[in-house]
Copies of this chain bind each other. A is one copy, B any other.
Amino acid sequence: MVSCGRCGGRAEVRPEGRPLCGRCFTELYERRVGETVRRYGMFARGDRVAVAISGGKDSASLLFSLRRLFPDLPMAALHLNVGIPGYSEECEREARRLAEMVGVDLILYDTRRELGISTPDFSRTPYRRRICSPCSTVKRYLLNRLAWERGFTKLATGHNLDDVAEALFSLYLHGDVGQLVRLRPLSPSPHPKLLARVKPLWGVTEEESRIYAELNGLPFKRDPCPLSAGSRSRERKAVLGEVEGRIRGFRRTLVSSHLRSFLPLLEGRVEAPPLLECSSCGMPSSTDPCAFCRRVEMARRASARRPSGE
């Protein structure tokens, strides 16, 4: 029997090679999430938090741990159904089960019903197979808009250390300083209609969230999105996984160097583009029409061209 490196009990899991029992792991995971929230001042008195849940392990662990850590914080879950056949329905079901289990309200939004579009429509636009890009533009916009319309003050997402490291790696590689300066645990609100965004899982890995979700019996969909196979971000994550195997602590080091050394230098040297108002939807944006309205228009046209019966 391998014993828990913390309490000496029976080890059940081995995150980053350290044997731990389920109870100790859960405690450590929640402690880390709590520390991240407090260190970056993510929540303040009066906040109402919308937690974006996708049906996957990260956002399930996010909602569950936040509820445990901050039982008095007003909180609801937000879920978008983007209409991916054989996938989105199951994600929605897991999201419903999770919200019920945690005991929070769930705000559901179905892009087919509300907008007449679904993510697969983008495969018939110039995006073709690079479908993750317009899908995330649409989701980012909708999550903010839904939360803002309902009077929430913060939007929490399940981005984990692996996500952040992969994004940093790509942004440093390509020298995208404008995006780098925005990659932080708490992104303050730049406009009354744009909520501050927080990433409480900034300090935990994908593997840790999977273990936490499993240990706590959270409902989540295991398979990744079928349309993301071969996507750049999934490819890059695989590469970073290999680098981590060769350079221990690679991801954490990259993320902490960003926060400690680069962000303070870049801040104030990189100007955010001025915000206009989208003449179509009225939301703030650096372009008019905004990126969301242009994507929706593209998808609608593609969908109209679709032969009937397809």
A116 within 8 Å of B (CB atoms): no
Q: How many copies does the complex hold?
A: 2
Q: Which residue of B has the minimal Cβ distance to A250?
A: B173
Shortest Cβ-Cβ A-B pairs, 10 listed: A175-B261, A175-B257, A239-B246, A177-B261, A265-B269, A172-B172, A173-B253, A174-B257, A175-B260, A173-B254
A266 within 8 Å of B (CB atoms): yes
- Cα A102 to Cα B15 in complex, Å, equals 58
Q: Which residue of B has the minimal Cβ distance to A243?
A: B239
* Chain A interface helix/strand/loop/mixed: helix
Residue contact B235 to A246, C-beta cutoff 8 Å: yes
Q: Can you name 6 extra interface pairs (CB under 8 A) apart from A242-B242, A265-B265?
A: A172-B257, A173-B254, A173-B257, A175-B257, A177-B261, A235-B246
Residue contact A177 to B262, C-beta cutoff 8 Å: yes
B-side contacts of A177, CB under 8 Å: 261-262, 265
- Cα A260 to Cα B177 in complex, Å, equals 10
- Using an 8 Å CB-CB cutoff, how does the interface string of A232-256 with B read, 1 for contact, 0 for none? 0001101100110011001001101
Q: Which residue of B has the minimal Cβ distance to A270?
A: B265
B-side contacts of A250, CB under 8 Å: 173
A residues bordering B, Cβ < 8 Å?
172-177, 235-236, 238-239, 242-243, 246-247, 250, 253-254, 256-258, 260-262, 265-266, 269-270
Q: Which residue of B has the minimal Cβ distance to A253?
A: B173
Residue contact B174 to A253, C-beta cutoff 8 Å: yes
- Cα A269 to Cα B279 in complex, Å, equals 40
- Cα A265 to Cα B176 in complex, Å, equals 12
B-side contacts of A257, CB under 8 Å: 172-175
B-side contacts of A238, CB under 8 Å: 246
B-side contacts of A236, CB under 8 Å: 247
- Cα A260 to Cα B176 in complex, Å, equals 10
B-side contacts of A256, CB under 8 Å: 175
- Cα A174 to Cα B262 in complex, Å, equals 10
- Cα A260 to Cα B239 in complex, Å, equals 25
Q: Shortest Cβ distance from A19 into chain B, in angstroms?
A: 28
Query: A269 is contacted by which of B172, B173, B235, B269 (Cβ under 8 Å)?
Result: B269
- Cα A270 to Cα B266 in complex, Å, equals 12
B-side contacts of A269, CB under 8 Å: 265, 269
- Cα A72 to Cα B59 in complex, Å, equals 66
- Cα A236 to Cα B247 in complex, Å, equals 8
- Point out which of A243, A253, A270 has the most chain B C-beta atoms below 10 A from its C-beta: A243
Query: A258 is contacted by which of B175, B176, B242, B253 (Cβ under 8 Å)?
Result: B175
Q: Which residue of B has the minimal Cβ distance to A269?
A: B265
